[in-house]
Amino acid sequence: MKFPVFRHIGEHTWLWIAGFAVLGAVMAMLRLSTPAAVSFMVVGLLIMMKSQGTSILSVVTADPVPEEEAAESPASGTIAAPTQKAA
């Protein structure tokens, strides 16, 4: 990770989870139910990802498709011409 912000988030994930939980609790006390629900949803997703061992930043920063697969995909514009059957 070349950016210090990404390293900070990766090393302190549980603090970010606790912060979102506190934010959700404060919003719930202020009767802001929809933003509180979104905050608790983020907490749940982060906990699930962290407990699976998934790096949260790899979801955001890693390229999901390797370059050799990207070169072969139809989305790259290199579609092979269909073969015609002999009549």
Does any domain span residue 15? yes
40 in any annotated domain: yes
Q: What is the pLDDT of residue 68?
A: 66
- Regions in the chain scoring below 50 on pLDDT: none
Give the Cα separation of 39 and 74 in Å (integer). 38
User: How many domains does the chain fold into?
Assistant: 1
47 located within any domain = yes
**Domain presence at residue 65:** no
66-78: pLDDT as tens digits: 666 656 655 555 5
Residue 48, domain member (yes or no):
yes
- Position 60 scores a pLDDT of 63
Residue 50 resides in a domain: yes
Q: Does residue 42 lie in a domain region?
A: yes
Q: Which domain holds residue 23?
A: 8-55
Give pTM, 2 decimals. Answer: 0.59
At 27, list the tokens. Answer: 């919003």
Q: Is residue 69 part of a domain?
A: no
Instruction: Compute the radius of gyration of the chain from its Cα atoms.
Output: 22
Which residues, in sequence order, are CB contacts of 65 under 8 Å at separation 6+? 73
Q: Which two tokens stand for residue 32?
A: 């802001």
pLDDT for 67 equals 67
